[in-house]
Structure 1
Amino acid sequence: MEQQLLSERVGLYSLLRALYTYPLTQTVLDAVAQLQVAPESPLAEGLRQMQNSLRAATLDELNIEMTRLLEGPGLTPAPPYASYYLNNGQLMGPPAVAARQVYLQWQAIPEADTHLPDDHIALELGFAAHLAQRAVDGDKTALAAGRDFLRQHLLPWLSRFCDALVKAGPVPFFSGLAHLTRTAVQADLAWLDQILTETTVKTV
């Protein structure tokens, strides 16, 4: 298993977390502008939309749009919480409790000043980055834990969230972000399934 691929997973999930953390910063936008993927990559289309949008949209404009789409006040067009989609529109429900239990298990509780529910998409993506880093560091259980987290906690609601984000009619940066997020997580799960299956076969 190539160490570079493991490290790239850390970088991608860390960037995705930052892209859903308000406010966006110029450093994060610069990282998007500089990111390169192969033309045939499933990530290419979403990234292209985001990079094209950066040529016209300013940081302030994107943060204003992010407030409308994700931050509020009030109920937003695309609430970024698992509970909203899995708990009949009610926030801080069982999905948030379940996510926190996994964070506790891995000693990865979000910092107190984060002020986000545990099932916020930024925190779930950040936890995926944490598990990816643990895999880089040699934890042999982290890849399987990452696959389980994607299957059980993030993917059950991710597509509905991304659909809501696109339906809200955002500037192309955020529709591209929705596409990038969905394809990145789905592609990572497929890769994890393949790697873990190959590892199991080798040990039999």
Structure 2
Amino acid sequence: MAMTENAAKKWEGIQILCEARMFAYNLLRSTFIQEPSREFIDLLERDEMIPSFPFTGDNQEIGAGVEQVNKYLERYKSMAAGARDEELERLRWDYTRMFVGPYQLPAPPWESAYLNEERLLFQEETLAVRRAYLSYSFIPRNYHREADDHLGLELEFMFRLSEMVAGKAAVRDAVGAEAILKDQEAFLTDHLLKWVPRFAEDVIHSATTDFYQGMARLLKGFIYLDRQATAELLQAIA
């Protein structure tokens, strides 16, 4: 009976950590995959999703990001309707200016822009990311129109795999969960950790809104912390 109870507690802890990772990747992918919509900002403000971001007390960068974004949303909430419209346009321009164009991008959201010497897209870095996607039959949105190594797509891939790990953990499939976690660990090491910290620093220094400065801090802190989280999950499942 004791062993059964211990096993149940172990898998409960694994499930909680899996769900925390899903929450974080879902929020981050939604932030960087496209320009902010009114519905997205209202959702963050209404459901208090930022204060619920996991691992806030475990990482100084995450804690600073949560505080900065939360203050921004509090100001947004206090605005009149017309002022909210103006602020949303300012936020959209901040996204467009940094990540879309038409001018030179201060924070290009593609892995190849940071790892390729010529900063060209659709290079070997992009193809390596595509191979990782295809191993899980993950076909990115705007396939062949958006480079596979866009930050939003890489975060979406990690979110989908985190969902799969949580599903395996729910039925206590240790072998299945371990295989996916090892692939996530490899993707973090081979891709995200190689360029996202520099990207996040570029956003922090070039964003004109507290929202994107804070979200960049959340992103940077979480990417580092998630390598530790995957290692802890692998150790717990073994």
What's the TM-score once normalised by structure 2's chain length?
Answer: 0.77
Change in Cα spacing, 1:115 to 1:29, as seen in structure 2 (3 Å) is farther
Give the equivalent residue in structure 2 for 1:54: 73
How many residues were matched structurally?
200
Shift in Å, 1:195:
2.4
Shift in Å, 1:5:
2.1
RMSD of aligned Cα (Å): 1.9
Shift in Å, 1:7:
1.7
| Larger radius of gyration between Structure 1 and Structure 2 | 2
Give the equivalent residue in structure 1 for 2:29: 17
Give the equivalent residue in structure 1 for 2:44: 32
What's the TM-score once normalised by structure 1's chain length?
Answer: 0.89
Q: Is this contact kept in 1: 2:56–2:66, CA < 8 A?
A: no
Q: How do 1:55-134 and structure 2 match up within 5 A?
A: 55-56=74-75, 58-88=87-117, 89-112=119-142, 115-134=145-164
Change in Cα spacing, 1:55 to 1:100, as seen in structure 2 (3 Å) is same
Shift in Å, 1:159:
1.1
Which amino acid is 1:109 matched to? I
Q: Is this contact kept in 2: 1:32–1:50, CA < 8 A?
A: no
Shift in Å, 1:39:
5.7
Which amino acid is 1:62 matched to? L
What is the CA–CA distance in structure 1 between the aligned matches of 2:103 and 2:149, rounded to whole Å? Answer: 18
Shift in Å, 1:116:
2.1
Residue 228 (structure 2) aligned to one of 186, 190, 195: 190
List runs of 5+ in structure 2 lacking aligned partners. 1-10, 77-86, 169-175
Give the equivalent residue in structure 1 for 2:193: 155
Shift in Å, 1:113:
6.4
Give the equivalent residue in structure 1 for 2:184: 146
Q: Does 1:170 align with 2:189?
A: no
Q: Is this contact kept in 1: 2:25–2:159, CA < 8 A?
A: yes
Shift in Å, 1:199:
3.8
Shift in Å, 1:134:
0.7
Which amino acid is 2:95 matched to? M
Deviations, residues 76-108 of structure 1 (Å, cap 9, x unaligned): 110000001000222221111100011000111
Shift in Å, 1:31:
4.1
Q: Is this contact kept in 2: 1:82–1:121, CA < 8 A?
A: yes
Q: Is this contact kept in 2: 1:162–1:179, CA < 8 A?
A: yes
